[in-house]
Amino acid sequence: MTSVSTQYKYLERKPISNYKQLFVKGTRIMARILYGQNMSEEEPRTIEQIAEDYNLPVEAVREAVAYCDTDPIEIREDFAREEAIIEATGMNDPNYKYDPSR
């Protein structure tokens, strides 16, 4: 459980984003997206595969995975905020796609 205090070469917080978690610099790619692909139970991908698919340096993907391995509080806060919005707007209702005005 850490907060963003480490200096990263490839990761940064987006100042205009509502998300607190880190993104790959110069992209819209969240570090947790890369981490999720690497740690997938169904179809885990290597760091090299992910780097190639996203046209990123291997070191950037390694840094993203290492960041997420620390279980940063900002990712948990972002997730909690998303879940609260989904709950408050009723998007978790199975019929939401048929009646999104609820």
Structural domain contains residue 42: yes
Q: What is the model's pLDDT at position 102?
A: 57
How many angstroms separate the CA atoms of 22 and 64, rounded?
A: 8
Q: pLDDT: is 62 or 98 the higher one? A: 62
4 falls within a domain: no
Domain that holds residue 21: 11-89
φ and ψ at residue 22, rounded to 5 degrees: -90, 150
Cα–Cα distance measured from residue 2 to residue 67, given in angstroms and rounded to the nearest whole number = 9
Of 2 and 78, the structure prediction assigns the larger pLDDT to 78
Entry pTM: 0.81
The pLDDT assigned to 101 comes to 66
What's the structural domain count of the chain?
1
The pLDDT assigned to 42 comes to 94
Q: Each residue of 15-74: pLDDT tens digit?
A: 889 999 999 999 999 999 999 999 999 999 999 999 999 999 999 999 999 999 999 999
For residue 5, being part of any structural domain is answered with: no
